[in-house]
Every structure is written in C-alpha cells, then in structure tokens.
Structure 1
Amino acid sequence: MKRLRVTAAVDGESAPAFYGMLADSPRVAETHLLEWNTTSEGVETVLFGIRGDPGQFAAAAPQTDGIGSVTLSPASGEWTYALVDTRPLSTSLFAAIHRARARPGLVVRKPIVYRDGEMHFRVVGESDALQAALAEGPEAMDVRVESVGTFRGALDHPGTRLSERQREALAAAHDLGYYERPRGATHEDVAAALDCAPSTASRHLQAAEAKLVDAALDEFGPAV
C-alpha cells in the first residue's frame, strides 16, 4: 500500500468561487477541511477550520455555486469552525475532485489544507488506483506529488520514530525532572541514569526532541 503527499493548484479563471474562498481569500489565511459526511441526496456536510475572518466566509459562501448553509462555532483562539452543506457535483471542478476521491482502492486522508491558492493533502491506496486518480484529475488543476512512500500504519505515530535509546533518554529525563521548570536535572543526571557520557545523553535528547518537534509542527501531523 502506497502513500502520497500532494499539492494541487487550480487555474484562477477556472476555480469556483468557493475554492477561492478556501484557498485564496485575502481575509482567510488558511482553511482546513477536517471531516465530511456524504448523504444519499448528494449533499456533503463538511467541517472546516478557518483561520481568518469567519464572518465574511459565512456571509459569502452561501452565495456561491454548490454551497448551502454555513454554521459557525464560537471562535477558539485564532481558529473558527464551520459546518458547511455542499453539493459537490454542482460545479465541474468539485465534481471531478469528488469522482477522484470516491475511486475504489484509495482514501484521501484529512485534513486537506487550503492556502496561497493551493490545496495540500495526503492519499493512501493501491498503486493502480492512485495513478488512475492522478491521471483523471481536472484539467484546470496542476497536481504535484511532493513525496511517495509505503504506508506504515501505526508506525506513523511520532513516538515510533524514536530509536530505543532515544526513548530511554526521554523517559529518564522526564522521570528525573529534566523538563520541569525550574529544571530538576541536568544532562549529567540523565547520562548517569543511562550509564553513558553526558555528551551522548545530550545527543540522544536533541535527536528525540527534534523528531517530536517536527511531528508537532507538521500541519498534517506525523508523516505518512
């Protein structure tokens, strides 16, 4: 089973108005498609996270093709969440995306991230299905495959990226109070617990911390 990380850009003249609101609005920094639910009537209820002006989004979205009601949550920090009823088959671009996403043999993983005129997403599936979906993408959409690899399932959890020694170093540091404020232990204390040199303990901690920080800052979570 393969996994892809993909970026897609849509020709501005061909993009539906709602796509522009998601990916290229001066009043919205970025939008995350978090979940969707498809009904038998051809309506999808989609949960979006919006970093920007939710009022403008809620007022303008129902005026665009294929969009019904928009319900906003109270703001949570810089993010607001919106439930949006859509009819994806009502515009050619979203219909083509819908057909590609509904193809047997693949799954589009969430979130789908929209910003700076582009959409970023991950796909997992069989090689033939992935290739066919990419080949059948809308003509107005420029698709770039950013990375390809083997889907690792549970191994995608950031903790599984750590080596055994890195995990031991983090556990020892945590138990000794190294991450408390004020700090309750030093590299030397961690080294003594691991029976290694302080420089070695420091190297293990730095490598482990870097892996966890990379995972935390990745907009998609752990790499797939």
Structure 2
Amino acid sequence: MKHVRLELDAGGRESEIHPMFDVLMNAPYIERATALQWNWAGGTLGILHYVVGDIDAYDAAASDIEAVIDYELEPAGDDAFYAYIFDEMTPTSRAMFEPVSYRGLVVVPPILYHEDGRVSMSAFGPSEVIQRAIEAVPDPVEATVQSVGGLTGLPQVTESYLSERQQAALEAGLELGYYATPREADQEDVAAALSCAPSTAAEHLRKGERKVIQSVIARQ
C-alpha cells in the first residue's frame, strides 16, 4: 500500500475538461479554491468547494453554464464562500474521475487548486492500482507524482494523531502568545497553563509542531 501526492496540470486547457473547472482555475475573480467533498455518479458530479473570490461573479458564471444542473452558494466571511455545484460531466471530466472508482483506491480530500494552474491531491491504495490510475489520466492533463509514502503521510492522518496533550499545548501556546511576533509567552507559561513541567511542555510543543508542519507540507 502506498500514499502518493499527485500534481495534475492541464497546461491552460482547463476549458477542454469542463467549463466550471475553467472558471475555478482561470477566472480573474477567483483567487483560490479547494474541493472539500464530491460524489461522482456516472454522468453527473456533485462537488463542494471552498472558494476565495467574488461570489457574485461566480454566481453569474455558474448560472450561464448549461452543464450546471443546480448549485448553491453560501458566504464564508470576507471574499470567501462555499460553492456546491451539481453538473453534467463532459467526456473528458468523466475520464478524469473514472480512475477514482478503481477498486482499492481512496482519494483523500481536500483537492487543492493552485494559482499557477496546478491541482494537487492525495491518493492511497495498492501500488499497481495507483499506477494504473495515473496512466489513465486523459489528455490534456499531465499527472506527476510529487511524493510517495505511507498512511502517516496523509494530511488528515497526520492531524488526527496529535495527542490530547500536544493539542492542548499548541492551543495554549497560541492563546498565550507563544507564537506571536515578538513572542509574548515562553515554555514556562505554557507549562503553567498545562500544569506540567517546562521540559514536558517543551516536548509537547516540539512534537505537536512537527506533526502540524508535516501536515502542511503534505498539502503543498
């Protein structure tokens, strides 16, 4: 079993895959987007995105695309919103999602859309299934393996095995100003908040920070 971090790049030809994909990747009013969850059922796709950009411009674009069957937008703070899109798939977008259904393959959300046109994602499964899925990615998309590892390389898994004390130490450090610039608290302050020795607090902080950094790097 392997975890791979994949990078997909359509080389500016996103419109050949699906018009909504082209909007997310190339529209000037979209700063960035993240696919949180999806449900692919043959010829249709329901997908939930978190988007940073102009919600009104996105609304207008979605309403004008014939392939969009239904959609719903919900603001999520300044210049950000959730976008649920239910649409008909094109032959190319269907070919992109077919490898996801291979037996034994798990695609782990989120899928990140980068400003330079790249899309990155994590997948886990038998090595031969992953290889077959990569080979099945259709033109014009090029798939590149960024990294290979085990289960602990998955972002969600990395986050989930923070111990309760590590989580508490990081939260206390954030609240007290340990991570502020300039620093407003030290390890002794964190130790006092946790009712433990400074050396113990330092260990919780160090191990927790390492796991969080691993998680962030795995998403890039």
TM-score range with shorter-chain normalisation? 0.7 to 0.9
* Residue of structure 1 equivalent to 2:95: 96
Larger radius of gyration: 1
What residue number does 1:156 align with?
A: 157
* Identity percentage of aligned residues: 24
* 1:67 matched residue in structure 2: 68
Q: Could you tell me how far 1:122 is from its partner in structure 2?
A: 0.7
What is the CA-CA distance between 1:36 and the residue it aligns to? Answer: 1.8
Q: Distance in 2 between matches of 1:50 and 1:168?
A: 33
Change in CA separation of 1:169 and 1:219 when aligned onto 2, cut-off 3 Å: closer
Superposed counterparts of 1:30-41, under 5 Å: 30-39=32-41
CA 1:102–1:66 in 2, change beyond 3 Å: closer, same or farther? farther
1:18 match: secondary structure: helix
Question: Matched residues in 1 for 2:76 and 2:156: separation?
Answer: 34
Q: Tell me: CA distance 1:30–1:182, structure 2 relative to 1, closer, same or farther (3 Å).
A: closer
Spell out, residue by residue over 1:51-95, the C-alpha distance to the aligned partner (whole angstroms, 9 max, x if none): 11122112112433632222111333442011111112xx23201
Normalising to structure 1: TM-score of the pair?
0.73
Distance 1:131 1:69 in 2: 34
Stretches of structure 1 that go unaligned for 5 or more consecutive residues are: none
How much is the aligned-residue C-alpha RMSD, in angstroms?
Answer: 3.7
Alignment deviations for residues 24-58 of structure 1 (CA, whole Å, 9 cap, x no partner): 22211111111123457x33221111111122112
| Matching residue of 1:10 | 10
Which region of structure 1 is more displaced relative to structure 2, 69-78 or 140-149? 69-78
TM-score normalised by length of structure 2: 0.74
Specify the code of the residue in structure 1 equivalent to 2:207: A
Equivalent residue, structure 1, for 2:25: 23
C-alpha spacing 1:51/1:201, structure 2 compared with 1 (3 Å): same
Task: Give 1:161 shift.
Answer: 6.1
**Distance (whole Å) between structure 1 residues aligned to residue 32 and residue 173 of structure 2:** 36
